[in-house]
Structure 1
Amino acid sequence: MTAVALCLAAVATLLALALAGGFVAATSFGRALVYGGTLALSLLVLLVAGDALLVGAAGETLMLPLGLPWVGARFHVDPLSAFFLVVVSLAAAAASLYALGYGRHERDPGRVLPFFPAFLAGMILVLVAADAYTFLLSWEFMSLASWALVMAHHREEQNARAAYVYLVMASFGTLALLVAFALLAGPDGHYAFAAMRAAPPAAGAATLAFLAALVGAGSKAGLAPLHVWLPLAHPAAPSHVSAMMSGAMTKVAVYAFIRIAFDLAGSPDWRLAIPLLIVGAASGIIGVLQALMDNDLKRVLAYSTIENIGLVFVGLGFAYAFRAAGFPAAAALAMTAALLHAFNHAVFKSLLFFGAGAVLSATGERRLDKLGGLLNRMPATGLFMLVGAAAISALPPLNGFVSEWMILQSVLLSPSFPQWTLKILAPAVGAGVALTAALAAACFVRAFGIPFLGRPRSEAAERAGEVDRFSLAAMAVLAALCLVAGLFPGQAIDALAAATDLAVGAHMPSQSSMPWLSIAPVAASRSSYNGLLVGVFILMSATTASTIIHRFASGAVRRAPAWDCGFPDSSPSTQYSGESFSQPIRRVFGRIAFVVEERIDMPRPGETRPARLELRLGDRIWNTLYRPLIVAVERAAVQLNRLQFLTIRQYLGVVFGALVALLVVLATWP
C-alpha cells in the first residue's frame, strides 16, 4: 500500500476506535483499547511518514468519491505533509502512552475516549488532504473534536467559557481559510491543490489569500492578537489532550499557512514578509511575558506556546523574504530553522504538559504557590521537567538551542536584503527574538523552581508521590529526544531537506558529512555549532568541578541551619513565590504589555493585622480589541432581536427590499 492509503486506513481505524470508545469508556478495558490502539496507529503513521520524508518523492494522489459529486475527495502525501505527519504522530504516540496511565485519574472518561482518536484522525486528514473542500471539512472536524475535548470537564464554569471562546475563534479561522481558498480557486473554481498550483492567482488575489491564510492559520496556531482562546482552552483540557493541542494541532496550523503561502499562492511578494515578521516577533514577546506573570502551571505552558509559535513564524517570515529576494540558500536556512523549531516545540512542550499533568494528578494543584518541594517526592518527574525546561529555554546541548540559534543565523543574513524596509526591520525582529529567549529562560526558572524546589507550600504538595510507569515512560522518551536532537542536529536538518525544497525551492547543504558532527548553516568560516562537543564539554566540566570539590575540599562535616536571610521562620510562606519572582519584570513591562492593578493594604501603626497585596493582571489585547467587539455584537443582537416580532406585512416588506437590493447588485456587477 502507498503512504496515503496507509494513512487513510489509519484514519478509518481511528474513527472505529472513537466509535468503540463511546461504548466501553467506563471500563479499564476501554481505556487500554482506545489509548493502546491510538498508540499503535500513531506509530504506524510515524513510520510511513518518516519513510516518505526521507525518500523525498511525492506519492500518488488518491481520489475517493466522497463529498461534492463534481469535486470528490483528493488525498496526497508529499515531503511537506510527511514532515508534519511525523510531528503529529510522534506527539500523538507519546500522548497515548502517557494516557494509558494518566487516564486512570480521568473523572469523566466517556467525554474523552471517543474524541481523542477522532481528534488525531482529523489532524491526519488535514495533512493528507489535496483539495480545498476536503481540507476545510477535515479542518472543521479537527476543530470540533478538540472542542469536545476542551468541554470534557464542562461542569466547571471556566472550562465552558474556554470552549465557547475556542469555538468562536475556530469558526472565525475557518471562515478566513475559506476566503483564502476561494481566492486561490479563481473564476474557474478549481478546488484541487494541483490545479491551484498550476494556475496561480493574480497579484492582488494572491496578496489577499496570503493575508487570509495568515489570519485563518494564525488563529488556530495562537498568533497574537488571535491568541486569546489558547490560554483558556489548553489548560481546560486533560493534560494529554493539552499536549496534543499545543504540540500537534498548532503545527497543523503552521502546515496550513506554509501550504497556502509558500506552495499555492504563486510568486512571493517581499512586502508580505513584513506583517509576518512583526506578528511573529510580537507573539513571541507577548506570549513569554504573559507566561512570566501567570501563576497557573498549565496556563504558563499555554502562553509559552504562543511564544514558540511566534518564533516559528519569524523563521517563516525570513524564509518568505529571502525567497522573494532571490536568495535560495538563505531561504532554505530560515525555512529549516522554522520547521526544526516546530518539531522541537512539539517534543519539549509535550514533555512539559506531561509533567504538569503528573503534578496535577499527584497533588490536585496547578497553582505554583500551592506547590514546592516536589523534587524530593517526584524525582523522576522533576528530572524530566528539568530537561524540558532547559530545552524550551534554548540551553545547549538540548534541541531548543539549535533551532533558535539557526533563526538568529537567518537574522545575521538580513543585510543582504535589497529593500531598506527589511534591512531595518530584520535587526529589530532579531532583538525581539533574543529578548524572547532571555525571558523564556527566566520564565522556566520560575516554572520549574517554584513547584519542585524549596519546601512544600501546601499539604497536597507534601503528600505527593511519583506517578505511574506509563506516564514516566512517555516523559522519558521525549526527554531523550530533546537530548538526541540537540546532540545530533545535523541528521535532523538533513531529514528536512525534501520538505524545505518543496516550500522554498532549495535546501541546506548536507550537514551529516561535516567533521565531528558539526553543523554550519551558512559556512564553516562564518558560523558552526557542535552539540556533541558542547555536551561533552559541559559533562566534563561538571564532573571535574564536582571531583575537585569532593576530593580536595575540607573533609570535615559541619551541620548548621540553612541561611534564612535573617528571618528564622520555618514557614513555607517566607519562600519566594511566583508573584515575587516575576515582580521586577512586571514593574518593567506591566504598563506596556498588561493592565496591572496593584492594591497595597498596609496596617496602621499599632495594628496587628497583616499587610495585604492584591494584584490583578488584565490582557490589554482582550480589553482593547475583543471586549468592545463583544459589546457591539451584543448590542446588535438586541436590536436584531426585534425582527422576531414583525407583522406579516413587515416581513414581506423586508423580503421585497432584500430582493430589490440583490437585483441592483446583479445589474451593476462588472
Structure 2
Amino acid sequence: MIPGVDQQVWCVAALLGTTLLAIAANRSNKSTTVVYGATLVISLIAFARALSFLVAHAEATEMVLPIGLPWLGSHFRLDALAAFFLAVVNLGGAAASLYGLGYGSHESAPHRVLPFFPAFLAGMNLVVLADDAFTFLLCWEFMSLASWALVMAHHREADNARAGYVYLVMASFGTLALLLAFGLLSGAGVGYGFAAIRSAPHAPSEAALVLALMLLGAGSKAGLVPLHVWLPLAHPAAPSHVSALMSGVMTKVAIYGFIRVVFDLLGPPGWSAGIVVLVLGGATAVMGILYALMENDIKRLLAYSTIENVGVIFASLGLALAFQANGLGLAAALAFTAALFHVLNHSFFKSLLFFGAGAVLTSTGERDMEKLGGLIHRMPLTSFAFLVGCVAISALPPFNGFVSEWLVFQAVLRSPDLPQWGLKIMVPAVGALLALAAALAAACFVKAFGVTFLGRARSPVAAAAGEVDRCSLAAMYGLAALCFLAGILPGLVIDGLAPVAQAIIGHRMPVQANDPWLSIVPIAESRSSYNGLLVFVFITAAASLAVYFIHRFASRAIRRGPAWGCGFADPTPAAQYSGASFAQPIRRVFGTLIFQAREHVDMPSPGDPRPARLTVDMHDLVWERLYTPLTKAVWFFADRLNQLQFLTIRRYLSLVFATLVTLLLVLAIWS
C-alpha cells in the first residue's frame, strides 16, 4: 500500500504524544531513553513512508482536519516535494535521536530539552505537510518557538540568553514577512488554500513583491546574508544534537517554504527573479565561509559553514528559475536537482560534523579549537568520522559533497544558452564566487580538523579526553556511511529526485540507472560524466600502492630523529600552528574589505622584558552597519511612544477619536 498523508499526520500525532509523555515523566531517570527511543522509532517510520512514496512516484494525497479556522479547517497534502523534505527531516530526526540516547545522558538540564525535542520534530513535519496559508504559518511559528525553547535550554550560560533573544526577534520578523507574502497571495477573494493560490493568476508586480517577502521570511530562517545574524549565535547555544537539527534540517524546511511558494504557488517565474536569487546565493556562500574561516569556536565555525551551503543551494535555485523562465527545461531540471541533492548532502555531513563537535564538547568541555589538539590519539573513532564529514563538506571526491557541487557547476556551464545578457554575465560571475567558496571551504575544514584533532594537546582537558558512547558513535558512523554511499552511487539519488523535479519544474534529468558502470551523465556524454565508484576505486588503489612502495622501499632509507623545534629544545604545545595563524593569510587578503581587520604589533625594544604582542581587531560589518543602527532607531521610537502611557483620560479619548476618523477617511478614499 502506498503511504498517504494520513499516515504522516499520525506520525506527527505520535511525536506530539511523546512531548506530553516527556512533560509527565521529565524527572524520571529513564525519561531520556524513553523520549529519544520513541522519537527514533517514529522518525524512522515517517522516513520510510516518505521514501516509499517518493520511490513509487505516487499521486498526491490530501486530507482536511476540522481544526484551525472554522470555515477553512487545516489542510494537509503529501506530494513529491513534501515527501522529499519529509525524508530529510525525519532521517535527520532519527540520527539526532540516536545520538541523543548517548549524548542526553550527559545533559545537565534534560527537563528543558526532552519536552521540546519531539515538538520541534513535529513542527518541522507539519510545516512540510501544510496545504493552506493559515496552517503553514501556525506550524511555522510552532516550529520556531519549539526551537527557541531548545536554544534557551542552557540560558544561564554566557551569551545564550542573548542568542535566544536575537533568534526570537529574527524569527518574528521572518514570520511577519511570510504573513505579508501569504496575504498578497490569498487576497482579493483567492482563498487560503494552496490549491486556490496555485490556480489564481498573479500580476508581475505582485509576484516580485512576494519573492522579496519570501527571501526575507524564508531567507531569514535559512541564513541568507544579511539575515544570518541569529544563526551563529543560536546554533552553538543549543545542545549539539539540536544544533545538528537546526543547522542540517530546519534550514532545509525554510528552503522548502521558499520552493513551495516561488516555484509552485507563484506560477511561471520571470528571469529577473533568477538574477536576484542567484546573486544573493553567491554572496551568501562567500561571506559565510569567510566568517567560518575566522572562527576558533568549532560550533560557530560549523554554523557559519551552514550559511555557505545555504548560499550554494539558493544560487542553484536561482539558476533553475532563470533556466525555467527561458524555457530551458533540461537545464532547469539539472539546477533544481543539484539544489535538492545539496539539501540532502548538507543534512548528512553537517549533522555528522555537529555530532562530532558535540562529542568533543562532551569529552573535553571545550569548543575553542585553540585549547584542543591531539584528539586523534584520544578519540580515534570520533576523529575518523569527523574527518569523513570534513572531506564531504569540502566537496572532495568520492564523497557526496563533490557530486552536488559538481552538478551546480554543470548547470553554470549552461549559461551560454540563456538569451539575456544580464544572465550571461552574472551566471559565470556567481559561478566564480561558488568556486572561491568551495576552495575556502576546503581550507576551512583543513583548519577545523587539523587544529582540533592533530598535533599535541594544548590543554589538560584535551590531554585527558576519551572516546564517547556507542550511540553517539553509531549516529556519526551511520551518517558517514550515507556521505560515502551518496558519493559513489549518486545516480540512485538523482533518479530518486526525478519525481520532485518533474512535479515542480515540469522536466527531469535523464534516467541515470541506464548508464553503464553506475556513471552519472547530467546532460550528455559529450559534455560531462562522472563515476563515483570508479573514482573511489582509483583513489583506493593509488593510495594503497603509495603506502606499499613507501614502506617497502623508502622507510629503510629514512633516518629518524627528534623533530626540529624551531630552536627550542622542548617546544610547548602552544608553539604549534594555531587556528588564528592558519586563517591569517586569508584574513590579510579578504579581511581589510570584509571585516575591516587591523593588526596591531607591540614589539618591545631591546632590553625591554615585556613580551611581544599581536592583537587583531575585526568587525562584523553587517551587524554594525545594519542591525546596530536599526536597534538604536527602534529604541528611539520606543522611548517616544512610551510617553503615550502617561496621558490623561481626556487625551486618550482624543487620540482614539482622531484614530477612528483617520481610519474612516482611509476607507472612504480606498473604496
Q: TM-score, normalised by structure 1?
A: 0.99
The AA in structure 2 aligned to 1:624 is R
Q: Equivalent residues in 2 for 1:258-277 (5 A)?
A: 258-277=259-278
Q: Partners in 1 of 2:111 and 2:225 — Cα distance?
A: 34
2:282 touches 2:311 (CA, 8 Å); kept in 1? yes
Tell me the equivalent position of 1:517.
518
Q: Deviations over 1:405-444 (max 9, x none)?
A: 1000111000111100000000100000000000000000
**Partner amino acid for 1:630?**
T
Contact kept? 2:60, 2:80, Cα under 8 Å? no
- Shift of the alpha carbon at 1:501? 1.1
| 1:571 and 2:572 correspond | yes
- Structure 2 counterpart of 1:614: 615
Match of 1:398 in 2: 399
| 2:509 corresponds to 1:498 | no
Amino acid at match of 1:367: D
Provide the rounded CA distance (Å) in 1 between the counterparts of 2:570 and 2:222: 46
User: How many Å apart are 1:558 and its aligned residue?
Assistant: 4.1
- The more displaced of 613-622 and 469-478 is 613-622
Deviates more, 1:245-254 or 1:52-61: 52-61
- Partner residue of 1:151? 152
Report matched runs for 1:235-314 at 5 Å.
235-314=236-315
Alignment of 1:170 with 2:167, yes or no, is no
Q: Which residue of 2 aligns with 1:544?
A: 545
Give the equivalent residue in structure 2 for 1:377.
378
1:650 corresponding residue in structure 2: 651
Deviates more, 1:140-149 or 1:51-60: 51-60
1:33 corresponds to:
34
- Separation of aligned partners in 1, 2:460 and 2:610: 25
Q: Secondary structure at the match of 1:61?
A: strand
In 1, Cα distance between the equivalents of 2:641 and 2:20? 41
Distance 2:584 2:550 in 1: 35
What SS class does the counterpart of residue 613 from structure 1 fall into? strand
Match of 2:356 in 1: 355
Conserved 8 A contact 2:190-2:200 = no
Q: Distance in 1 between matches of 2:28 and 2:474?
A: 23
Contact conserved, 2:190 with 2:197, CA < 8 A, in 1? Answer: no
Q: Which residue in the other structure is 2:472 paired with?
A: 471
CA contact (8 A) 1:184 1:200 kept: no
CA distance in 1, matches of 2:524, 2:40: 41
Q: Is residue 490–residue 517 contact of structure 1 (8 Å, CA) maintained in 2?
A: yes
Equivalent residue runs for 1:185-264 within 5 Å: 185-264=186-265
Q: Which runs of 5+ in 2 are unaligned?
A: none
CA–CA distance in structure 2, aligned partners of residues 567 and 258 of structure 1: 58
User: CA 1:244–1:554 in structure 2 vs 1: closer, same or farther (change >3 Å)?
Assistant: closer
Say whether residues 1:179 and 2:180 are aligned partners.
yes
Tell me what 2:509 maps to: 508
Q: Is the 8 A contact 2:337 2:494 kept in 1?
A: yes
Q: Which amino acid aligns with 1:631?
A: K
Letter of the structure 1 residue corresponding to residue 331 of structure 2: A
Deviation readout 1:280-315 (Å, 9 max, x if unpaired): 001000000000001100000000000000000011
Secondary structure of the structure 1 residue equivalent to 2:619: strand
User: After the TM superposition, which parts of structure 1 deviate over 4 Å for at least 4 consecutive aligned residues?
Assistant: none
For 2:305 and 2:167, the matched residues in 1 are separated by 18
Question: Cα deviations across residues 127-186 of structure 1 (Å, max 9, x unaligned)?
Answer: 011111110000000000000000000112400000000001001111111111111113
CA change 1:42–1:394 in 2 (3 A) is: same
User: What are the equivalent positions in structure 2 for 1:135-146 lying under 5 Å apart?
Assistant: 135-146=136-147
Cα deviation 1:538-566 (Å, max 9, x = unaligned)? 00000001111112225367431013344
Equivalent AA in structure 2 for residue 478 of structure 1:
L
Partner of 2:512: helix, strand, or coil?
A: coil
5+ unaligned residues in a row in structure 1: which ranges?
none
Amino acid at match of 1:400: G
1:372 counterpart SS class: coil
Structure 2 Cα separation of the partners of residues 162 and 503 of structure 1: 36
* SS at 2:30 equivalent: helix
Provide the C-alpha distance between the structure 1 equivalents of 2:181 and 2:210, rounded to a whole number of angstroms. 4
Identify if the C-alpha distance between structure 1 residues 554 and 575 changes in structure 2 by more than 3 Å, giving closer, same or farther. Answer: closer
- Whether the 8 Å contact between 2:202 and 2:266 is mirrored in structure 1 is yes
Q: CA separation in 1, counterparts of 2:28 and 2:616?
A: 45
In 2, the alpha carbon distance for the partners of 1:442 and 1:557 equals: 30
Q: Is the 8 A contact 2:510 2:523 kept in 1?
A: no
- C-alpha distance after superposition, 1:441-466 (max 9, x if no partner): 00000000001000000000000000
- Paired position in structure 1 for 2:660: 659
Q: How has the CA–CA distance of structure 1 residues 57 and 667 changed in structure 2, closer, same or farther, with 3 Å as cutoff? A: same
The aligned amino acid for 1:598 is E
SS at match of 2:616: strand
Contact 1:15/1:118, CA 8 A, preserved across alignment: yes
Residues 153 and 236, structure 1, Cα contact 8 Å, conserved in 2: yes
* Partner SS for 1:655: helix
Question: Which residue does the alignment assign to 1:601?
Answer: 602
Write the letter of the residue equivalent to 1:174.
T
2:60 maps to which residue?
59
CA distance in 1, matches of 2:290, 2:366: 23
CA contact (8 A) 1:56 1:78 kept: no
Question: What is the identity percentage for the equivalent residue pairs of Structure 1 and Structure 2?
Answer: 61
d(CA) in 2 for partners of 1:598 and 1:647? 57
Q: Greater shift after overlay, 289-298 or 553-562? A: 553-562
SS at match of 1:76: strand
SS of aligned partner of 1:624: helix
Query: Once the 2 structures are TM-superposed, how far is the Cα of residue 207 of structure 1 from its aligned partner?
Result: 1.6
Write the letter of the residue equivalent to 2:430: V
Give me the whole-angstrom Cα distance separating, in 1, the residues matched to 2:558 and 2:335: 54
- Equivalent AA in structure 2 for residue 106 of structure 1: E
SS at 2:650's partner residue?
A: helix
Deviations 1:354-386 (A, max 9, x none): 000000000000001000000000000000000
Per-residue deviation, 1:353: 0.1
Q: Distance in 2 between matches of 1:307 and 1:80?
A: 23
| Offset, 1:13 | 1.1
What one-letter code is carried by the residue in structure 2 that aligns with 1:362?
S
Does the 8 Å contact 1:18/1:118 carry over to 2?
yes
CA deviations over 1:473-526 (Å, ceiling 9, x no partner): 000000000000000000000000011112211110101110111111111111
Aligned partner letter, 2:87: V
Q: Secondary structure at the match of 2:600?
A: strand
1:632-659 deviation line (CA, Å, top 9, x unaligned): 0011111111001111111111111111
Number of the residue aligned with 2:411: 410
Alignment partner, residue 47 of structure 1: 48
Instruction: Judge which range, 545-554 or 241-250, deviates more.
Output: 545-554
Residue identity opposite 1:292 in structure 2: L
CA distance in 1, matches of 2:37, 2:324: 44
> Displacement of 1:598 after TM fit?
3.0
Which digits, 9 at most, give the CA deviation of each residue in 1:98-127, with x for residues without a partner?
010001111100100000000000000000
Aligned to 2:102: 101
- Once structures 1 and 2 are overlaid, which stretch shifts more, 404-413 or 650-659? 650-659
Pick which of 513-522 and 457-466 moved more.
513-522
* Amino acid aligned to 2:455: G
d(CA) in 1 for partners of 2:190 and 2:414? 40
CA contact (8 A) 1:598 1:615 kept: yes
Asked whether the 8 Å contact 2:186–2:197 carries over to 1, the reply is yes
SS in 1 for 2:614: strand
Rounded Cα–Cα distance in structure 1 between residues aligned with 2:398 and 2:73: 48
Matched residues, number: 670
Aligned to 2:639: 638
Aligned to 1:439: 440
Query: Structure 1 residue 603: deviation in Å?
Result: 2.0
Q: What TM-score do you get using the length of structure 2 for normalisation?
A: 0.98
The CA deviation at 1:600 is 2.4
What code does the residue aligned with 2:162 have?
R
- Give the drift of 1:602: 2.1
Amino acid of the structure 2 residue aligned with 1:183: L
Contact 1:200 1:264 in 2 (8 A): no
The separation in 2 between residues aligned to 1:379 and 1:179, in whole angstroms, is: 51
Are the aligned partners of 2:323 and 2:329 in contact in 1 as well (CA < 8 Å)? yes
For 1:654 and 1:554, the matched residues in 2 are separated by 89
Offset of residue 215 of structure 1: 1.2
